[in-house]
Amino acid sequence: MEHRIEKIKKQLHSQSYKLTPQREATVRVLLENEEDHLSAEDVYLLVKEKAPEIGLATVYRTLELLSELKVVDKINFGDGVSRYDLRKEGAEHFHHHLVCIECGSVKEIEEDLLLDVEKIVESQWGFEVKDHRLTFHGICRVCQKQAVAASSAKENKE
């Protein structure tokens, strides 16, 4: 964890930004909740637990800054809120998401599945790909099992 904070600190310094206590607190919250997809409000509330004097605007400013530096990715699942996701160490690309339309869960895929597709896009459309966003909507493993269980229960009943 400290190692990653050091790294982010260097990234900030390289663009002559500072890692202020507020920014550090925000980054720590992101690191501690890496699995989640926090909204700015979520981050604000979590940071407030440790540093109650922080302002919401600062959280927004920090997230925006981290987003520009590609430390976090700003994503939007269509619910009207932006969510912020730490980019994994060394990852060049945005990771992919699996959004379950039943339970709303979001799972991440680290593997880059788009290398071949990007080659096609570059050769066929002459488009130089810099980054991508890929989200699948569907039914997660858990909900599939529940659906099966529910339908067999119904059969027994009938």
Partner DNA sequence: TCTATTAACGATAATCATTATTATTTAGTA
Partner DNA sequence: TACTAAATAATAATGATTATCGTTAATAGA
* C-alpha angle 14-129-40 in degrees, rounded to nearest 5: 55
CB 63 within 8 A of CB 72: yes
* Structure-token pair, residue 45: 């509330």
Site for a copy of itself in 74-103 (CB under 8 A): 74, 76, 78, 82, 98, 100-101
- Closer residue to DNA (CB): 40 or 46: 40
Cβ 130 to DNA shortest distance, Å: 21
Site for a copy of itself in 18-37 (CB under 8 A): none
- Closer residue to a copy of itself (CB): 8 or 100: 100
* Structure-token pair, residue 130: 């810099």
List the single partner that 116 binds among a copy of itself, DNA, none, CB under 5 to 8 Å by kind. Answer: a copy of itself
The neighbour count for residue 14, using CB atoms within 10 Å, is 9
- Closer residue to DNA (CB): 104 or 110: 104
- What is the distance between the alpha carbons of residues 8 and 6, in angstroms, rounded to a whole number? 5
